[in-house]
Amino acid sequence: MVTRKTTKKGLKVTGKVVKRMPGKLSAKIVDREPEVTQEIPQEIAKEAPQEIPQELSTKKLVVIVIHHNTAANLKICMPALTEQRQKNMEIIFIDNASPDREGVEWMHNAYDGTHQVTMIANTDNRGFAKAANQGIRIAISRGAKYIAFVSPDVVLSPDYFEKLIAKMNRNPKIASIMGKVYLYDFNNLKPTDIIDSAGLFALKHRRIVDIGQGRIDDGRFNNEKEVFGVSYICPVYRTEALEDVKVLDEYFDEDFFHYKEDADLSWRFLLYGWKNFYLPEAVAYHSREAGSHKRFSTSEFLKNRKHISKMQRQMSFRNHLLMIQKNELWSNFFSDFGHNMAVRILTPIYITVAEPSLWKSYWQYLKKLPAIRKKRKIILKNKRISASEMSRWFRSRKSLEA
């Protein structure tokens, strides 16, 4: 078991950014024992990472962690993050106004300047997209060449970022990259051999799925390759690419608030001529609610929707509609006309019979349509690839199962 002890020196809150300052820790922030012990699960910490040439791993990386009521997960996630072998890395921790202050208090106790950690306390829940853009702007102001996101329910292998950054340095056309992500059992602190994501895949009817999700890793997911997109779980983005594709000063679309922003950004990268990449030799682990990971096939997707909250289903469906409206090229739509029309005919029937609460998503979609169409015009004006080049990313389920 790998352990690391840190001793509280004191933090002072200045505005919304928590800066390291000598002296006393404000009682309003935390009143905890000064010494904490953080542990990385043995199965992950014991991995012997492959050496990466130093010149390929020293470009500045800023990692953003967006937190909202995930205290228990943080105590596993953060030690693995701060023990990364990647050089020249700093962390921005953003709390999205968590009602439960345990996670924020734990962070104040655990990180005292040993690692370059900046803490930001938002006074309201801005959702993932707006908080992510907030973090990206700070990272860019600090000269980040690469910007990563780590969900608080993720555990990284020690060389995760080192391997991803080395690959991106070798190929300047890669805008985003992710490794092989397995499911992680946070209750028992145990990794599994079940795939959570091996990249994003776009079906012909425009449903975006995580490649391999819920499948035992049998070797099918061992080849590095270009993919339609990368998941929000633990991606790395090239700052140059983020700046290139931002629309109305937004990197992630803030109209989405939460869910599907990763697929939307991935689609935009492709339209602008960038690449999204999957590198299986970089390994991470991610926790999901029981059953919610089994959504690889359509039948699994429908069967296990009950494990997903109503709010998540509503927001995800609304954002799926917004994403298509924003990025779809009409010639691609008509190339897959049968698939697309089948979904448009069957979806209202399914909603009426099985999930009437999703009609609210249609109404929210219509309200946001003017703003999305404005962004669409900008994207279509600046895209660099043709519809025929884009069409290769919309594929059949048969090719997904291969």
**pLDDT digits over 263-296, tens only?**
999 999 999 999 999 999 999 999 975 444 555 5
Residue 107 lies in a domain: yes
What pLDDT is attached to residue 77?
A: 93
Mean local confidence (pLDDT), 82-106: 91
Give the model's confidence band at 34: pLDDT under 50 very low, under 70 low, under 90 confident, else very high: very low
Residue 293 lies in a domain: no
Kind and range of the H or E run holding 177: strand 174-185
Mean local confidence (pLDDT), 34-38: 37
Q: Which residues span the domain enclosing 319?
A: 298-401
Residue 354 lies in a domain: yes
Assess whether 271 and 378 both reside in one domain. Answer: no
- Two structure tokens written together for 343: 């979904």
Q: Which residue type is seen at 278?
A: Y
Of 254, 286, 318, which residue sits at a domain end? 286
Give the model's confidence band at 42: pLDDT under 50 very low, under 70 low, under 90 confident, else very high: low
231-241 pLDDT, tens per residue? 999 999 999 99
Number of domains present in the structure of the chain:
2
Residue 335 lies in a domain: yes
What pLDDT is attached to residue 401?
A: 66
Assess whether 329 and 188 both reside in one domain. Answer: no
Mean local confidence (pLDDT), 90-106: 90
Cβ atoms 200, 230 nearer than 8 A: yes
Assess whether 347 and 200 both reside in one domain. Answer: no
Assess whether 228 and 186 both reside in one domain. Answer: yes
Mean pLDDT of the chain: 83
What pLDDT is attached to residue 394?
A: 95
Cβ atoms 186, 73 nearer than 8 A: yes
User: The CATH number of the domain where 64 resides is what?
Assistant: 3.90.550.10
Assess whether 221 and 336 both reside in one domain. Answer: no
Residue 212 lies in a domain: yes
- Cα separation, 92 vs 84, in Å, equals 15
What pLDDT is attached to residue 113?
A: 63
Lowest-confidence region among 4-8, 164-168, 209-213:
4-8
148-160 pLDDT, tens per residue? 999 999 999 999 9
Instruction: Give the β-pairing of 236-238 and 146-149.
Output: antiparallel
296-347 pLDDT, tens per residue? 556 666 666 667 778 888 899 999 999 999 999 999 988 888 888 888 899 8
Mean local confidence (pLDDT), 81-92: 93
What pLDDT is attached to residue 334?
A: 86
Assess whether 233 and 143 both reside in one domain. Answer: yes
Assess whether 26 and 157 both reside in one domain. Answer: yes
Residue 292 lies in a domain: no
Assess whether 224 and 90 both reside in one domain. Answer: yes
Residue 320 lies in a domain: yes
Mean local confidence (pLDDT), 107-120: 81
What pLDDT is attached to residue 188?
A: 85
Q: Which one is predicted more confidently, 167 or 395?
A: 167
Assess whether 322 and 242 both reside in one domain. Answer: no
Residue 225 lies in a domain: yes
Of 286, 319, 340, which residue sits at a domain end? 286
Assess whether 12 and 71 both reside in one domain. Answer: yes
Assess whether 280 and 327 both reside in one domain. Answer: no
CA 213 → CA 26, 229, 238, 311, distances in Å?
A: 44, 14, 26, 22
Of 232, 254, 286, which residue sits at a domain end? 286
Assess whether 367 and 310 both reside in one domain. Answer: yes
Q: Is 173 helix (H, G, I), strand (E, B) or coil?
A: coil
Q: What percent of the chain has pLDDT over 90?
A: 59
Lowest-confidence region among 30-44, 102-116, 341-355:
30-44
